[in-house]
Chain A
């Protein structure tokens, strides 16, 4: 199956700093990628849709100035959590759609963020 890679797998940062998470499609071009957040024992919450070459589309309630998304190439999208706070600690997961075959969506490995 298609491979989507995320980096880093886990990161600890100090409150007030920013952290960047990368999402790469390794064997296909992804014009659209999705960023999710998942708190423990809860389902995935879509944060934003990342579109190559244009601005991301954010879901209601997600602060676009806090969660900066850049999709500069067909294989890379980045999520930057700015001025992180402990409540931003979560599991962040990206996904990308493979065109054709029902646009099956594959997930990256996820990134655990802990803000201390």
Chain B
């Protein structure tokens, strides 16, 4: 079992729709959770971080965390073609400094 699992996709949604990206993790000691967006040929950029159970909203993005189910998700509302990218889920244990990444989900938003 991989430490951080994501559906590789590709996930296609029409412009204006809600894109839902999911991630599960195996280490119950994980305390910090991150979503990164990576455009082709570029390095990842941080979109959201979440540390507590529940929802966290930032603009069109909402991160959801359920530690009991070891599940974290990212919702993108009003999806735009510019959101087309690979989305990486990453988790970190409390005092650790390094991230463990999932393999990423490729999202395509169709105009």
Q: Is A54 an interface residue (CB 8 A)?
A: no
Residues facing A in B26-79 (CB within 8 A) are: 32, 34, 36, 41-46, 49, 51
Measured CB to CB, the nearest residue on chain B to A34 is B98
Q: Which residues of A contact B45 (CB under 8 A)?
A: 107
Q: Is the CB of A46 within 8 A of B98?
A: yes
Most buried by B among A44, A49, A91, A97: A44
Q: Which listed residue, B32, B42, B44, touches A103 by the CB 8 Å rule?
A: B32
Closest B residue to A105 by CB, please name it: B99
For residue A32, CB closer than 8 A to chain B, the reply is: yes
What residues on B are CB-neighbors of A60 within 8 Å?
A: none
Q: Does A109 contact B (CB under 8 A)?
A: yes
How far apart sit A91 and B38, CA to CA, in the bound complex (Å)? Answer: 13
Which residues of A have CB within 8 Å of B101?
A: 43-44
Q: Among residues 21 to 70 in chain A, which have CB atoms less than 8 Å away from a CB atom of chain B?
A: 32, 34, 42-44, 46, 49
Residue of B nearest to A104 (CB): B49
Is B22 located at the chain interface by the 8 A CB criterion?
A: no
Q: Please tell me if A100 contacts chain B, counting CB pairs below 8 Å.
A: no
- A107 touching B97, Cβ below 8 Å: no
Contacts known (A102-B32, A102-B51, A104-B49); A44 close to B97, Cβ less than 8 A: no
Query: Residue-by-residue, is B65-104 near A (CB-CB < 8 Å gives 1, otherwise 0)?
Result: 0000000000000000000000010101000011101111
Q: How far is the CA of A19 from the CA of B12 in the complex (A)?
A: 39
Task: Flag A82-105 by CB within 8 Å of B: 1 or 0 each.
Answer: 000000000101010100001111
CB of A59 to closest CB in B, whole Å: 9
Chain A residues with CB under 8 A of B97? 32, 34, 49, 97, 103, 105
**How far apart are the CA atoms of A116 and B49 in the complex, in Å?**
39
